[in-house]
Amino acid sequence: MEENQVISMPRIGDKAPEFKAMTTQGEINFPHDYKGNWVILFSHPADFTPVCTSEFMTFASMEQKFNEANCKLVGLSVDGLYSHIAWLRTIKEKIEYKGMKDVEVTFPLIEDITMDVAKKYGMIQPGESDTKAVRAVFFIDPNGVIRTIIYYPLSLGRNFDELYRVLIALQTADEFGVATPADWRPGDDVIVPPAGSCGSAKDRMDGKEADMKCYDWFFCTKKLDKDEVMKKILKK
């Protein structure tokens, strides 16, 4: 029976699965301990591997930038706590990458030898590996709701500019009641939600809503100043 057990993967809009775990920064109760903050929960395949090392150095170097946007970082692999500690010490003492060196990882790295947490979040994908977590990324909002999920295979390192862009775009959509188009970055035009009635659609097309540019009734954009966006998001 155990072979046929199906573990449902969490979906966008679900509450983040709860767990308690030991980390390199002590025990955490997730997501309860992070209420009021955005969280990026991410997994990596194994300690002492080169792609993971490059990723942890990048995340650690950007941690302050994420924190300023009210976002905490939490890592996970299926290795043990002592392996985590030894690996992070090696990163600080020996590794240099893209000008980064003497990098100290201060965000928590979860010990998950039993793979309980990894399985709750669908991080173990047997088609890729049944003993290592894939490179999963979960964006969890201040209410503990999963807002974005990104999965990468073992061989592919993540794009950290994109992870930061996603975080800012999610918060922008929430704060300003808009959507963000393809390749959006702060300062670019945003998408105004479609008109809710024939009357308002006509008003838009007649130019009665002056702050919008409408290409058709369903596709309207407006300016949103970069400084306004970042001031709102970084105010915390």
CA 101/CA 79 separation, integer angstroms:
24
Q: Which of 52, 71, 214, 220 is flagged as catalytic?
A: 52
Answer for the pair 155, 26: CB distance below 8 angstroms, yes or no.
Answer: no
Please check if 147 is assigned to a binding site: no
CB-based contacts of 70, cutoff 8 Å, min separation 6 = 37, 38, 142, 171, 233, 236
What token pair was written down for 144? Answer: 């503990």
CA 53/CA 33 separation, integer angstroms:
26
Answer for the pair 132, 45: CB distance below 8 angstroms, yes or no.
Answer: yes
* Of 64, 50, 134, 136, residue with least CA distance to 98: 50
Whether cis (ω within 30° of 0) applies to the bond prior to 10 is no
Q: How many CB atoms lie within 10 A of CB 98?
A: 9
Q: Look up 220 and say whether it is catalytic.
A: no
Annotated binding site for substrate: 135
Annotated binding site: 135
Q: Which residues are catalytic?
A: 52
